[in-house]
Amino acid sequence: MTEHTPRIGTDEKLFVNEATLDYFKLQLESQVRERLFKWIGIPLGGGGLLAIIFAVWFWIPDKVQEFIDSSEVVQEQLEASVESYLNDPERGGALVETYLSSEAGKEALRKGLQTMVTTYFVGEDGQRFVEEQVRAVTGQYFEQDQGRAIITSAVQEQFQSPEVRQIVETAVNEALRPASANLSSHIRANQHRLVAELTPIAVAGIAKESMDKLYRFLQSREAEELRQTGKALGLTLTASGPIHYARFAIQEYVEVLQQELNLQRVVILNPQGDFLAAVRPAPFLSGLDDELVELLNTRDFRDSRQALVALLEARFGAHSLSSLSNTLTIREALIDGPWVNWKQINERVAVVDAGKFVGLTGRDRLIATLLEADI
């Protein structure tokens, strides 16, 4: 019987024997040799020596370089090799150290660092870093005794110079010029700046009439305007006048007006309508009693005046009875005004025009007006 050779499977699940494979192998080798000769041998042989030189010096290196540049694997291998070489203290490390120790290496390092430092500090990051460091170091230095001493010495030295003294003197004179001129100005001439006027509201005497009048007023157009503008009010009580006051009516007026509107003072007048006292609502309610109401209702003011004034001063303080005439100059009001003997230096006092109450002013207003140039 004929001996059969073993069959070999292909990818398509077909089968060939070894003889067929040997045949194919010979055919492939023949074709490779033919193609190498055709595409490389013939051009090189035909080109002669010039073709060989071109291939060796230009074409082959260029192809190799192109392959190296385009291959990520080659690039990674090169980087790994360089890193390994430089990290080896006996090879790359020794080479770098030797170079940097030489004059040429030192010069190259100096130029390189100079360029890097210059580039960094010219940029925004470098400038920001320098500013922060200078600010921190300067602040720390001048917080120390030595730094503070330098500043103190420099300031004292500057103020000793004639130039700085002249500058200070000129500035002070300029600042005081309007104040000097305004000192002689009268309160009346600047009443719109100096005096906070109060809208007067009077208390009716008879109980039922008094309450009806109050609530009719609160529903009036005038009261609505006062609510919208927030204008200050002054509730007036006339001593020994034609109206007989009821204590609860006075109390009702003060409490309601303080709640509904901007009541600033309870103003007490003599029978001729001249100013006697101006009291804040809260202290007035605390001091309101039958004795005070009885003095207000006394028919002959000559009999009750002294007792009423003494009672008002005792209960509400001397400043509640003090007043400034609007004929005074600002200088006179500041020097001779009632604030000199008060603990309540910022308390408002009454301003009167020929004895009639016109509003309130304060020491702070008078001083502020001195610095205004156009009064």
**Complete edge-to-edge strand list for the sheet that includes strand 323-325:** 323-325, 349-353, 356-361
Length of the chain: 375
Q: In which band, very low, low, confident or very high, does the pLDDT at 101 lie, cut at 50, 70 and 90?
A: confident
pLDDT tens figures, 271-318: 999 999 999 999 999 999 999 999 999 988 988 899 999 999 999 988
Higher pLDDT, 373 or 115: 115
Mean pLDDT in the chain? 75
pLDDT digits (tens, 9 = 90+) for 42-57: 554 555 555 555 555 5
Mean pLDDT of the 342-364 span? 85
Q: Which of 208, 187, 230 is nearest to 359 (CA)?
A: 187
Q: What is the predicted pLDDT for the residue at 11?
A: 47
Q: Which of 35-39, 105-109, 206-210 has the lowest mean pLDDT?
A: 35-39
The helix (H) or strand (E) run that includes residue 372 is none
**Residue 243: what are its φ and ψ, rounded to 5°?**
-100, 135
Which residues does 187 contact at the CB level (< 8 Å), separation at least 6?
Answer: 194, 195, 324, 325, 326, 327, 328, 329, 330, 333, 351, 361
Greater confidence, 290 or 3? 290
Question: pLDDT at residue 86 above 80?
Answer: no
Identify which has the larger pLDDT, 26 or 146: 146
Q: What is the mean pLDDT of residues 321-346?
A: 80
Residue 2 has a pLDDT of: 47
Band (pLDDT 50/70/90 cuts) for residue 329 is: confident
Highest mean pLDDT among 56-70, 106-120, 223-237: 223-237
Please check whether residue 215 is in contact with residue 252, taking contact to mean a CB–CB distance below 8 angstroms: no
Query: Which residue ranges make up each domain of the chain?
Result: 8-70, 188-370
DSSP for 311-343 reads HHHHHH-GGGG-EEETTSBHHHHHHHSGGGG-S
Whole-number pLDDT of residue 214:
86
pLDDT at residue 342 greater than cutoff 90:
no
Contacts of 258 (CB under 8 A, 6+ apart): 281
pLDDT for position 95: 66
**C-alpha to C-alpha distance for 43 and 48, rounded to whole angstroms:** 8
Q: Topology of domain 188-370, per CATH? A: CBS-domain (3.10.580)
Looking at per-residue pLDDT, the higher value among 52 and 350 belongs to: 350
Scanning the structure block, which residue is given the tokens 């990051």?
A: 125
